[in-house]
Amino acid sequence: GSTETYKLPSFEAWQSIVPNLSYNYSVSFGDGKALRDKSDDVEIAGLRFYSKGDYEPTTMTVNGSNVKCNVALRFNGDDPTEKQYRSAWLYSWGTNAVHGKNVNGLWIYCINVADRQDISTVDDLGQTFWDQNIDSAVVRFFPAADTYPGIIHPSGVYWTASDSRDLSADSAYALFFCNTKCYTGYGDFKTYHFAVRLFSDRPVE
């Protein structure tokens, strides 16, 4: 009796979850480059707009485990549309029980902080913030699944619904992640058998 529908997300919809970055400037877990004022073309609930975010590689204790991760303050620009989605994010690699088996993959935690005047920069999203607020986070896990040639470490690639019209005919956009980083981008791989993750047409309350 459910009326909920799902769709293959666009590149911009995936960018609302994981930013569009090159391999050398990806969201790194624990070590790597900090990113400031990163701009992304995003789509949320059918609405497309530009957003800004700051990203910081670090180490956190999450649910009792010490993990290398990246914390971010996203949708932090001045546009009123963007401000309603202002949120704290935490990205990390880890395991999860899927059908009785431990599976590696990408963990993402998101907490809306649109009304939090005490949070002005990503530096405010330290261990104390996550200890106090993680129970209210929207949490998603993406199992590592790909058939991408030449990758020797565990990794995941998820299709978007967008091809790269300005590039070669074989190019398309996807979400990429592994045990050290995550990002959205493109490549000449339309013939590869990547995973998909459908998005609901109904936003999370």
Q: pLDDT, tens digit, for every residue of 167-193?
A: 667 778 889 999 999 999 877 666 667
Residue in 92, 117, 87, 116 with CA at minimum distance from that of residue 105: 92
- pTM given for the model: 0.90
Residue 34 phi, psi (nearest 5): -80, 140
The encoded tokens of residue 48 equal 């497309």
Task: Classify strands 47-62 and 6-7 as parallel, antiparallel or unpaired.
Answer: unpaired
Q: Are 32 and 57 in contact (CB under 8 A)?
A: yes
- Give the model confidence (pLDDT) of 41-73 as tens digits: 999 988 999 999 999 999 999 989 999 999 999
Amino acid type, 119: I
Residue in 196, 185, 189, 149 with CA at minimum distance from that of residue 168: 189
Identify the three-state secondary structure at position 20.
strand
Rounded Cα distance between 144 and 151, Å, is 12
Rounded Cα distance between 120 and 113, Å, is 10
Sheet holding 181-188, edge to edge: 27-28, 181-188, 171-178, 155-163
Give the mean pLDDT of 114-136. Answer: 96
